[in-house]
A = this chain, B = another copy of it.
């Protein structure tokens, strides 16, 4: 296994469906951990940062780790790979922009199935991430917890009896857990209910973001929902609370979709069909338009207006139509205008190979 395996193809979470995948695109659990031996990455020397990578490598590259259900990981030093490969990993959500832009001796250990990655020397020494398709908070948490236990048995985590896991940023202290789900809410947006629904979430300790993380706009009717509190609340409670909010959001979105079908079926069918036609034929597509039209397409598939196209086309193309992926695919560096051209080509090929119809 090498870096090339990770930058060419799609990940498991992108190709497979999951529970409630009509509305919940993906589930992510992230745990922040640090080792007692060294200062937080911000203050660590290169030598110390390298030592952390070695300690993690020693922990995960043991037979006992793999046999105990940890799985097999590939360790990638970010300094060893090209800028393009870096951004490709970022576009697949295997590493964060913080790791790409700010890490000293950044590294990532990626599990064969790409459902688990461990970022090293990001804001914390370790950022363990589990990414699964659909709504799978319980499963993702069980996986993260299992890997975390295996790591904890082999590493000296910085842990305080009173505060819990110590982290570089005080907002993560305690459980160090960030559980999040990505929701596709086109009907709540179309019916104008989205702002009311989202503002209620702040009151129950949840944060809403666009698909590219903090401070980004919600394009393609995609919203990322995550817990804010890491202190004084056990992991299971965090998961349970997000799960029940997710169930409510699913209900709301289903109601809104039914409303749209009853009250303005023709509008929706026309919008969805036009987006299909444009995605299937346009010669130039900006990243933003692509997301908006893919959102329409996905809604059309969910509502049964469009047939013969995999539901995962939204997730797949959402990742594969990003700049680094496009350049990776075409083998050359592309100016923004050329990217729009290649993006349209990719989308067209994909839609035509799926032979969808309306």
Number of copies of chain A assembled together: 2
Chain B proximity of A347: nearest CB distance (Å):
11
Find residues 228-277 in chain A having any chain B CB closer than 8 Å to their own CB: 266, 269-270, 273-274, 276-277
Interface size counted on chain A using CB atoms at 8 A: 18
Does chain B have a CB within 8 A of A358? yes
Determine the chain B residues whose CB is within 8 A of the CB of A358 once the complex forms.
Answer: 281
Determine the chain B residues whose CB is within 8 A of the CB of A341 once the complex forms.
Answer: 266
Find residues 271-302 in chain A having any chain B CB closer than 8 Å to their own CB: 273-274, 276-284
Determine the chain B residues whose CB is within 8 A of the CB of A284 once the complex forms.
Answer: 266, 270
Do the beta carbons of A274 and B266 come within 8 Å of each other? no
Give the one of A269, A277, A279, A337 with max B CB within 10 A: A277
Do the beta carbons of B281 and A277 come within 8 Å of each other? yes
Determine the chain B residues whose CB is within 8 A of the CB of A282 once the complex forms.
Answer: 270, 273-274, 277
Chain B proximity of A309: nearest CB distance (Å):
13
Determine the chain B residues whose CB is within 8 A of the CB of A276 once the complex forms.
Answer: 277, 281
Chain B proximity of A358: nearest CB distance (Å):
6
Chain B proximity of A273: nearest CB distance (Å):
4
Chain B proximity of A260: nearest CB distance (Å):
14
Q: Please report the C-alpha to C-alpha distance between residue A169 and residue B290 in the assembled complex, in whole angstroms.
A: 58
Chain B proximity of A286: nearest CB distance (Å):
11
Bitwise, A324-358 to B at CB < 8 A (1) or not (0) is 00000000000001000100100000000000001
Do the beta carbons of B283 and A280 come within 8 Å of each other? no
Do the beta carbons of B283 and A273 come within 8 Å of each other? yes
Do the beta carbons of B280 and A281 come within 8 Å of each other? yes
Chain B proximity of A110: nearest CB distance (Å):
37
Q: Please report the C-alpha to C-alpha distance between residue A282 and residue B282 in the assembled complex, in whole angstroms.
A: 14
Q: Please report the C-alpha to C-alpha distance between residue A273 and residue B279 in the assembled complex, in whole angstroms.
A: 10
Find residues 16-71 in chain A having any chain B CB closer than 8 Å to their own CB: none
Question: Which residue from B266, B274, B337 sits with its C-beta under 8 Å from A281?
Answer: B274
Bitwise, A69-91 to B at CB < 8 A (1) or not (0) is 00000000000000000000000
Do the beta carbons of B281 and A273 come within 8 Å of each other? yes
Chain B proximity of A341: nearest CB distance (Å):
7
Closest B residue, CB atoms, query A282: B274
Chain B proximity of A241: nearest CB distance (Å):
41
Chain B proximity of A236: nearest CB distance (Å):
47
Q: Please report the C-alpha to C-alpha distance between residue A341 and residue B283 in the assembled complex, in whole angstroms.
A: 27
Q: Please report the C-alpha to C-alpha distance between residue A279 and residue B273 in the assembled complex, in whole angstroms.
A: 10
Chain A residues near B (Cβ < 8 Å): 266, 269-270, 273-274, 276-284, 337, 341, 344, 358
Beyond A274-B278, A277-B281, 15 additional contacts (C-beta under 8 Å) are A266-B283, A266-B284, A266-B337, A266-B341, A270-B284, A273-B281, A273-B282, A274-B281, A274-B282, A274-B283, A276-B277, A277-B277, A277-B279, A280-B281, A281-B358
Offer 15 A-B interface pairs, CB within 8 angstroms, sorted by A.
A266-B283, A266-B337, A269-B283, A273-B283, A274-B277, A274-B278, A274-B281, A274-B282, A276-B277, A277-B277, A277-B278, A277-B279, A277-B280, A278-B278, A280-B281
